[in-house]
Amino acid sequence: EIVLTQSPGTLSLSPGERATLSCRASQSVSSIYFAWYQQKPGQAPRLLIYGASNRATGIPDRFSGSGSGTDFTLTISRLEPEDSAVYYCQQYGSSWYTFGQGTNLEIK
Amino acid sequence: QITLKESGPTLVKPTQTLTLTCSFSGFSLSTNGVGVGWIRQPPGKALEWLALIYWDDDKRYNPSLERRLTITKDTSKNQVVLAMTNMDPVDTATYYCAHIKSSPFDFWGQGALVTVSS
């Protein structure tokens, strides 16, 4: 089983700042099968990034993904108050899916 | 427009079997590459993938829960059903179904909270 470890656990930043969220896999993951989701309280997750760096439909270009192998990054430039949420990374490998434990992004 | 909605009991007793139905519209589960998955989230905790069924009836299960799970589809009704046996209070969670084509879950249902308690 591939374990995804996200860091930091909590991130507190101000509007306009840049957020960098990390996800490390316990073994190499194909970038094709790597995604990021945003989840706000009381809502279902929303797909942000797929294929490690491709924005899903309707996602602002403030959101970008990068990485390969075991290290992946979600970057949110120019934070806005509505970006306050929990962010999850996810991979699909060896026929099953795993999610990271989440990063809680707080906007001050 | 793709939509999904979960339905089923809100409360089940320990040892019972949970049966959840995902009803969807805007796509067909007979289309090449399409699948529907189930994911759950205990209160205040992270997401956990449970199972996935593809258009060709290929089924995948979380290895840690596989012996308790069964996923089936009814293409004519646009429904996917998940059964989980031997429910325990630790299985209390919001259960989501989601659409998939290739890798990520791109459309999600609103979720259904299931509480396991005697």
3-class secondary structure per residue, B81-113: EEEECCCCHHHCEEEEEEEEECCCEEEECCCEE
Report pLDDT digits (tens) over A18-30: 999 999 999 999 9
CB proximity list for B64: less than 8 A, separation 6 or greater: none
Q: Is A2 on the interface with B (CB under 8 A)?
A: no
Report pLDDT digits (tens) over B62-117: 999 999 999 999 999 999 999 999 999 999 999 999 999 876 899 999 999 999 99
Nearest to B110 among A1, A44, A100 (CB): A44
CA distance A3 to A101: 10
Q: Is A90 on the interface with B (CB under 8 A)?
A: yes
Chain A residues 47-86 within an 8 A CB cutoff of chain B: 47, 50-51, 56
Q: Is B48 on the interface with A (CB under 8 A)?
A: yes
CA distance B2 to chain A (A): 13
Tokens 């259960």 map to which residue? B95
The bridge status of strand B79-84 relative to strand B69-74 is: antiparallel
Report pLDDT digits (tens) over B5-57: 999 999 999 999 999 999 999 999 999 999 999 999 999 999 999 999 999 99
Q: What is the mean pLDDT of chain A?
A: 95
